[in-house]
Amino acid sequence: MEILAFGVQADEKPLIEKAFEKAFEGQHDVRCLGVFLTEDTAPIAAGYEIISTSVNASLDHKVLQTLAAGGTQMIAQRSTGFNNIDLEVAERLGITVARVSYYSPYSVAEFAWTLAMAVNRRIVRASNRTRDFDFRLDGLMGRDLRGRTVGVLGTGKIGEAFTRIAHGFGMNLLGWDVAENPACVDLGMKYVEKERLFAEADLISLHVPLLPATHHLIDATALRAMKDDVILVNSSRGGLVDTEALVTELRTGRFTGVGLDVYEAEAGLFFLDKSLEAVEDDTLARLVTFPNVVVTSHQAYYTVDAVGQIIDTTVQNVLDYTAGRRSENVLVPRPSP
């Protein structure tokens, strides 16, 4: 059997091929494609019982119906998030769906801090200047984080890792989540209502999943409640932030900095080279023009450690499927015979 993997980055391909070769010893091969799974590319999967997808794949009812008609019976998504998959339709069509429920939380937490420090200390602007041999310091002044307050929305594994780094900086810790994390409490975190967190935090970082209840968690009201000089970082899911509302606030000159590794309309943009095309997304085009905003293309997870864990778990999900086993990674179980 040959397994088809969509949306494979160049750095990932040799890792995926090596992992599948080692696990299956030639019994099953993997074919890696750089294109992402969409309504237009779904017909490529015809004849493949198992496919693997990336976080920006589109797995709505139309795509799932095309996959099912082509014989696909199992989807192994190479990510933790699964808001891009219509699970009800997959179950109705008898398609098994599995994800990667865990990988290195440090990859994302460390990158969130990279964004925070980049906007705080004006790293991008400074780097661009020195490339032109402009060594002035005008406009590059940042601020110490020690003694200031960080607000962490979502204190699971990634939020906890982010909090540990904040504790190392000597910051005051505020948290918001549906349940308290004892490890964060031990570090001195005080759990508060999100409204208080918005009002008091000097740095806010998002680490909650994208669910109907968290869609546009950071809306116009939340943004207006924040300090004028706050630093806002989102390395979780783009849909957590109402981007148009954010642009509106940025236009008034608010916020010390905003670091975004995700964007709510990133599908069809991120992971692709659009440098020679006209930008059709006016909101994103406006967003990247602000000098206090840094946007990266969903790369927080992209370390050799995290990607290796993602691939290993994906291989294990395929092994479990072929052996008829069910693990905690399964979102839609294999239909009963």
Query: Distance between CA atoms of 303 and 67, rounded to whole angstroms?
Result: 30
CB 176 within 8 A of CB 214: no
Query: Distance between CA atoms of 216 and 213, rounded to whole angstroms?
Result: 9
Query: Distance between CA atoms of 179 and 174, rounded to whole angstroms?
Result: 13
Specify whether 266 is catalytic.
Answer: yes
Set 28, 207, 254, 298: catalytic member: 298
Listed in sequence order, the residues at least 6 apart from 32 whose beta carbon sits closer than 8 Å to its beta carbon are: 5, 8, 12, 13, 16, 17
Set 12, 160, 200, 266: catalytic member: 266
Set 237, 254, 264, 334: catalytic member: 237
Query: Distance between CA atoms of 72 and 297, rounded to whole angstroms?
Result: 29
Listed in sequence order, the residues at least 6 apart from 96 whose beta carbon sits closer than 8 Å to its beta carbon are: 73, 74, 75, 90, 321, 330, 332, 333, 334, 335
Give the gyration radius of the chain's Cα atoms.
21
Which residues are designated catalytic?
A: 237, 266, 298
